């Protein structure tokens, strides 16, 4: 991945993580403060959902979300990729005026696309498995 023109586009957390990982090997030893900031940023991002994302995941998400009948801005799509929402409340926080622009079905469709295309962090996948187990026990 290469920066074509500075300040010409927004970057997702996934893209930032990839750039920082690539740049680590090219850093000069004389820039200690930059190395610290880079290390801390990479450490943080590796604990988020973007650590598991791939170019294919992001492309699949963007293709599916763009095919929906309602339109989201580039920044809203970026927020969805970065935060990987799992609830309707998170959608309300990430999409401006979502109550007016989106129906409940639209919100559920977005959540389905996110779940289908963007990998869940390990903790979240474990939490989902526990919920399924709890539901199965209640049904018995």
Query: Confidence band (pLDDT; 50, 70, 90) for 20?
Result: confident
Are 47 and 66 part of one and the same domain? Answer: no
Least trusted range by pLDDT, from 19-23, 54-58, 99-103, 106-110: 19-23
pLDDT at 135 over 90: no
Are 68 and 127 part of one and the same domain? Answer: yes
In this predicted structure, what is the pLDDT of residue 116? 94
Number of domains in the chain: 2
**Domain encompassing residue 127:** 54-139
114: domain CATH number is 1.20.1250.40
pLDDT at 64 over 90: yes
Are 59 and 110 part of one and the same domain? Answer: yes
On whether residue 59 sits in a domain, the answer given is yes
On whether residue 4 sits in a domain, the answer given is no
50: CB partners within 8 A, 6+ apart? 12, 13, 14, 16, 17, 81, 82
User: Mean pLDDT, to the nearest integer, of 21-28?
Assistant: 68
């Amino acid at each position: 991945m290469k920066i074509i023109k500075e300040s010409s586009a927004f970057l997702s957390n996934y893209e930032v993580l990839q750039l920082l990982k690539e740049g680590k090997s090219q850093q000069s030893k004389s820039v200690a403060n930059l190395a610290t900031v880079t290390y801390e940023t990479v450490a943080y991002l590796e604990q988020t959902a973007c650590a598991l994302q791939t170019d294919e995941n992001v492309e699949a998400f963007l293709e599916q979300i763009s095919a929906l009948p309602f339109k989201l801005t580039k920044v809203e799509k970026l927020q969805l990729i970065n935060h990987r929402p799992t609830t309707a409340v998170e959608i309300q926080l990430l999409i401006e005026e979502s109550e007016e622009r989106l129906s409940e079905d639209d919100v559920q469709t977005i959540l389905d696309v996110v779940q289908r295309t963007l990998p869940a962090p390990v903790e979240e996948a474990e939490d989902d498995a526990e919920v399924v187990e709890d539901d199965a026990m209640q049904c018995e």
